[in-house]
Chains A and B, each alone.
Chain A
Amino acid sequence: MPESRQHQSVPFAISLDPGSSLANKTGSWRTEVPKYVDRMPPCNHACPAGENIQQWLSSAEEAGYEAAWRQIMADNPFPAVMGRVCYRPCETACNRAVLDEAVGINSVERFLGDEAIAQNWSIESAVAPTGKRVLVVGAGPSGLSAAYHLRLLGHEVTVRDSAKAAGGMMRYGIPRYRLPRDVVDAEIQRIVDLGVRLELGTAVTELAGPLDEFDAVFLAVGAHIGRRAEIPAGDSARILDAVSLLSGLEEGERPLLGRRVAVYGGGNTAMDVARTARRLGATDAVVIYRRTEDRMPAHPIEVTEALEEGVRMRWLSTITAADAGRITIEKMRLDATGFPQPTGEFEELDTDTVVLALGQSSDLTLLAGVPGVTVTDGVVEVGANLMTGRPGLFAGGDMVPDERTVTVAVGHGKKAARNIDAWLRGTSFERPPRHAPATFDRLNTWYFSDAPATVRPRLESARRITTFDEVTGGLDESTALFEARRCMSCGNCLECDNCFGVCPDNAVIKLGDGRYEIDLDFCKGCGLCAAECPSGAIEMFPERS
């Protein structure tokens, strides 16, 4: 083109073609580069069952209840049970508690679990059958969880339990007012429908046979024997143990407790028995515990509910003698190390029945003669993969050293299933590395609305102590949705578009479906996106030279 023609295309008095600033790649100014990250939210980190809580809350926020429920089911086959009996370490860890109150994760889980039962949602295994056979001994939360996961992994699973009904401590240890039995039945039935074979009323007394017959065995026999204490007692003194009382009640027995019941112990079972005693007509239920309230192993919620129901507490006390109609109590004091010491001060208390709730131990007679298995302090020693010293024999739940809760047991079941599966395939299970924690200081909490926690309805105490009706009610859809939406999505993108909006250089590309990308041609590395991300899901890294 001749030079004169070129100049004709340029406006008057302009000697260069006008151009867009896009030619100026300002990304070269950058010394730091933002990156989207995923961090470990404290709820997920604290969950003994390893649930991906934040992920299912995120689905629930969009009213995707079935997707949320399926996300829970990937880790835990008992959402409706969990939503009632879990002591919610997730909520204790929740970052929102620093801002106002923890997200009611447990109540949302219960809503999802109940919704699944109401809608009859079911689970199917998508894995081809492996032909491997696994025996699970014990149909409690740990055994059933293991059976469920093993079945999902394609194995043939048989669960044997000596009891007439499945559920273990969920049925025989936790009173109905905390966990209605139709909920337990529904969630167990779903596991049976998945193809797990349940053999009830079948006690496993030795393991040589099963270990030959099956490719692997998982033991989860629980801890159903109440510990005794040496209390000098007269012939006519009435002393029961808590686990027998609770399981007998489940089998239809109506124990004669009398009007004045003393419960010896300070754990959750002690609260369960004292509250049960009130419901069975005891006008005076007293919990006698050696230490102070703050040292009680019982969960604060249970202590509070017991107090509301008129249960009395005698802290710093031990029972030194029991006789017909009365017990002798010695006052204790805590020494410098917090250990209770006797004071020599005694007191008498009118009591019809003493119930011992001093902990439980496992019946391990079935392990007799199995080589390689070590039992220490009444619990079975297992490796990190939950395998005992006998190859192919695994154990979990209350019979191995750990905290004794339903959620921990369910977590053991999942962990055992993964390790058994790996063992059956001749490999080993490696837990994927965890993301770095999403701590509170990483959040930009300005962006979260003020929203107090939703309180679950509870039965009034007058009705509580006369029936075994469920004490705590559930949330309805609107309140469950509200509660789910209080989640701050710690350490993971919640798709708020802040990064896309606050970049002064239009250098964030929104790809949709919650995905974003930084346009490094134009990102100057100012860090506004990272600073204004509510969830702390963007981090600045030094630019590589």
Chain B
Amino acid sequence: MGQQRIRFYQTGSFVVGNRLLDPDQRSVQSDTRRTNSLNSGHRACRGCGEALGARYVLDAVMRATGHQMVAVNATGCLEVFSTPYPETSWQIPWLHSLFGNAPAVATGVASALRAKGRRDVRVVGQGGDGGTVDIGLACLSGMFERNDDVLYICYDNGGYMNTGVQRSGATPHGAATTTTPAVGPDPGNSFGQGKSLPLIAMAHRIPYVATATVADLRDLEYKATRAMEFRGARYLHVLVPCPLGWRTGPHETIRVARLATETGMFPVFEAVDGEVVGVTKIRRRLPVTEYLRPQGRFAHLFGETPRSDIIGKLQAEADRTVRTFGLVDPEEVS
């Protein structure tokens, strides 16, 4: 059962708030009493998608849990820019351990709370795609397998952005990073590599798996809230564009995330017990070039000799994603 869209002409469900809506229908982010889990003064770059995504998710979880939440953070941008010693931007109980063991630490926190009989306090683990898809995957898989009562959130910006924009297992095909430079006959990240962690999580048959982006706030808040209705292992994968690594303008963060969904490059869906139960349909389908062209990491595809072959393969990937998840209504499939 997907999110019920508010049929509200003028701005619909797309904006953060609307003065014409009843207060109980408004988003967490439109509320002046929101937690601001990640507060001002953090050292994230201008227009950081991850800073935005983390506040969106954690503020929603704070509301859903009645402010009873502990967050465990993997090493990565999110940790580095938010907690330079001795300052912190976090306005929630927050724990940092290592790059690779955030899911295990979160599991331990959940066990400790259970031992103390505190079922009201909920545990959230979070990290970037490097810490989640690559380095922390083993203990995340273990957490899934044991069905520990943790919501794990991956903020996916498609690379190790904090350490200098290196490739991760979530870097899109063809993208240039410092470890997959735009040189040679097959520039950028190799095709056939990388992994979809939402699908891996679903294969564990955990209670809840969902994807979202910072471009659709209401959908993201819905999924963060819905995840807290379940007990056991849950996984939320949020696309958070990185102006530095993607080489986009700081004001383009949300637009690029929107283009990722509208081109079919990033499917937005939710799954319960390993089964897809809802997808966010594409509103106005666009060719992948619309998503690729604004990003400097794909600039080599549009140079003096445009690489229509690589663009074609990316379009084929997007087409397959659209088919797999049914992202457009059948009559609209081209």
Q: Are B30 and A501 in contact (CB under 8 A)?
A: yes
Within A500-545, the residues touching B (CB, 8 Å) are 500-502, 504-507, 510, 512, 514, 519, 521-522, 524-528, 530-532, 534, 540
Residues on the B chain within 8 Å of A233, using CB? none
Residues on the A chain within 8 Å of B44, using CB? 504-505
Q: Tell whether A372 is near chain B: CB-to-CB under 8 Å.
A: no
Q: Which of B85, B86, B253 contacts A528 (CB 8 A)?
A: B253
Q: Tell whether A207 is near chain B: CB-to-CB under 8 Å.
A: no
Given A496-B17, A497-B17, A500-B30, A20 and B11 contact (CB-CB distance below 8 Å): no
Residues on the B chain within 8 Å of A29, using CB? 46
Q: Are A495 and B19 in contact (CB under 8 A)?
A: yes
Within B36-55, the residues touching A (CB, 8 Å) are 36, 39-44, 46-49, 51-52, 55
Q: Which of A23, A486, A540 contacts B41 (CB 8 A)?
A: A23
Of A110-118, A220-228, A443-451, A464-472, the stretch lying at the interface with chain B is A443-451
Q: Are A447 and B15 in contact (CB under 8 A)?
A: yes
Q: Which of A19, A494, A505, A532 contacts B40 (CB 8 A)?
A: A505
Residues on the B chain within 8 Å of A22, using CB? 39-41
In this complex, which of A18, A496, A524 has the most chain B Cβ atoms within 10 angstroms of its Cβ? A496
Residues on the B chain within 8 Å of A20, using CB? 39, 41, 87-89
Of B160-168, B244-252, B311-319, the stretch lying at the interface with chain A is B244-252
Q: Tell whether A456 is near chain B: CB-to-CB under 8 Å.
A: no
CB-based A-B contact count at 8 angstroms: 163
Q: Tell whether A21 is near chain B: CB-to-CB under 8 Å.
A: yes
Q: Are A510 and B32 in contact (CB under 8 A)?
A: yes
Within B101-149, the residues touching A (CB, 8 Å) are none
Given A526-B47, A531-B254, A506 and B36 contact (CB-CB distance below 8 Å): yes
Nearest-Cβ distance from residue A118 to partner chain B, whole angstroms:
24
Interface of A is mostly: loop
Q: Are A21 and B14 in contact (CB under 8 A)?
A: no
Q: Are A24 and B10 in contact (CB under 8 A)?
A: no
Q: Tell whether B82 is near chain A: CB-to-CB under 8 Å.
A: yes
Q: Are B254 and A26 in contact (CB under 8 A)?
A: no
Nearest-Cβ distance from residue B175 to partner chain A, whole angstroms:
22
Q: State A540–B250 Cα separation when bound (angstroms).
A: 13
Q: Tell whether B258 is near chain A: CB-to-CB under 8 Å.
A: yes
Closest B residue, CB atoms, query A497: B17
Q: Which of A449, A510, A521 contacts B10 (CB 8 A)?
A: A449
Q: State A151–B19 Cα separation when bound (angstroms).
A: 36
Given A496-B16, A504-B44, A504-B48, A527 and B39 contact (CB-CB distance below 8 Å): no
Residues on the A chain within 8 Å of B26, using CB? 497
Given A19-B86, A446-B14, A495-B19, A451 and B9 contact (CB-CB distance below 8 Å): yes
In this complex, which of B7, B46, B252 has the most chain A Cβ atoms within 10 angstroms of its Cβ? B46
Q: Tell whether A218 is near chain B: CB-to-CB under 8 Å.
A: no
Residues on the A chain within 8 Å of B258, using CB? 446
Q: Are A504 and B86 in contact (CB under 8 A)?
A: no
Closest B residue, CB atoms, query A519: B40
Q: State A531–B249 Cα separation when bound (angstroms).
A: 11
Residues on the B chain within 8 Å of A14, using CB? 86
Q: Are B254 and A532 in contact (CB under 8 A)?
A: yes
Q: Are A526 and B46 in contact (CB under 8 A)?
A: yes
Q: Are B41 and A522 in contact (CB under 8 A)?
A: yes
Given A22-B40, A501-B16, A496 and B251 contact (CB-CB distance below 8 Å): no
Q: Tell whether A498 is near chain B: CB-to-CB under 8 Å.
A: yes
Q: Are B10 and A497 in contact (CB under 8 A)?
A: no
Q: Which of A21, A61, A506, A524 contacts B88 (CB 8 A)?
A: A21
Complex interface bits, B74-91 against A, C-beta within 8 A gives 1, otherwise 0: 000000001001111100
Closest A residue, CB atoms, query B52: A504
Q: Are A17 and B86 in contact (CB under 8 A)?
A: yes
Q: Are B51 and A505 in contact (CB under 8 A)?
A: yes
Q: State A268–B249 Cα separation when bound (angstroms).
A: 53
Q: State A514–B19 Cα separation when bound (angstroms).
A: 8
Q: State A519–B41 Cα separation when bound (angstroms).
A: 11
Q: State A31–B156 Cα separation when bound (angstroms).
A: 28
Q: Tell whether B263 is near chain A: CB-to-CB under 8 Å.
A: no
Q: State A494–B82 Cα separation when bound (angstroms).
A: 33
Q: Are B41 and A528 in contact (CB under 8 A)?
A: no
Q: Tell whether A16 is near chain B: CB-to-CB under 8 Å.
A: yes
A residues adjacent to B (C-beta < 8 A): 14, 16-26, 29, 61-62, 446-449, 451, 482, 485-488, 494-498, 500-502, 504-507, 510, 512, 514, 519, 521-522, 524-528, 530-532, 534, 540
Q: Can you list 19 contacts pairing A with B, beta carbon distance less than 8 Å?
A: A18-B88, A19-B87, A21-B39, A62-B20, A449-B11, A482-B9, A485-B20, A494-B10, A495-B19, A496-B15, A496-B16, A501-B16, A501-B17, A501-B27, A504-B44, A526-B46, A528-B254, A530-B251, A531-B251
